[in-house]
Amino acid sequence: MANTPLVSDADVVAAIRAMRDHFRELIGESQLYESELLDFFTGLITESPRALAIVAFSYIDEKLATLMRLHMNPDISGGLDSLFKSFGPLSTASGRIKLAASLRWLTPSTYRHLELLRKIRNEFAHGAFLNSFDEAPVRDFLGQFEPLEKALWKSMADRLLPYEDVSRRQLYHIRATLTCARMIEEVTCSPRAISMGLSPVALHEDGFSVVPKPFKELMRASLTVVTRLIPN
């Protein structure tokens, strides 16, 4: 025991880095729907405000359910359909979002944004005379988002409409797209990272250069939607 060499801090850092490298190898071939996301959100540019809010959230919710199923044990009584259909505990968008957040499969920010998107969807779905993102309470829900898009203008300002000229409808479209991309990334990565004893955000802890290609393409797809939505 006395001659056992000490494990240095550098050894610990190297071991953790090796675990993250292995994690990235495991998720490197993930299905992230990047081409589908690009086509879908680009296709919503000409839709009415009501259709935009309802259809965008429907797509996001469907992707959340699909990704959650990948991390669940199908060998339960009634199978996974017993959770997601009829009166199952995950049969509602609210239930799915809350469970994913409670398991730390979603960051607090993405959780809040999904809840806001859900509330906006509900307002358009049930408000017979609601026709604009400029009307309350949709306007107020939109104002509760973190400005996810602000960073884009620091590096892409020459390709985008001036920020002050972006309408609330366009702002909603941008935030729905970015939130969807983040949700897909998080629900793909976080369960696997947690199961390996890593941080839920381990994907980005060693910098963007080592992020697997599918995740870079997912980010590229979401940014492409923004440039098509509000070109300069």
CATH label of the domain that carries residue 219: 1.20.120.330
Q: Assess if residue 20 is contained within a domain.
A: no
Q: What is the pLDDT of residue 1?
A: 53
Q: What is the pLDDT of residue 6?
A: 85
Overall number of domains in the chain: 1
Query: Is pLDDT larger for residue 9 or for residue 100?
Result: 100
User: Which domain covers residue 44, as residue numbers?
Assistant: 33-229
- Overall pTM surpassing 0.85 (yes/no): yes
Q: How confident is the model at residue 224 (pLDDT cuts 50, 70, 90)?
A: very high
Helices (H), 72-162: 81-84, 93-102, 108-126, 138-142, 152-156
Q: Assess if residue 143 is contained within a domain.
A: yes
Q: Assess if residue 158 is contained within a domain.
A: yes
Q: How confident is the model at residue 7 (pLDDT cuts 50, 70, 90)?
A: confident
Which phi-psi region, left, alpha or beta, contains residue 104 (left: φ > 0; alpha: ψ -120 to 50)? left
Q: Assess if residue 3 is contained within a domain.
A: no
Query: What tens digit of pLDDT does each residue of 135-179 get?
Result: 999 999 999 999 989 999 999 999 999 999 999 999 999 999 999
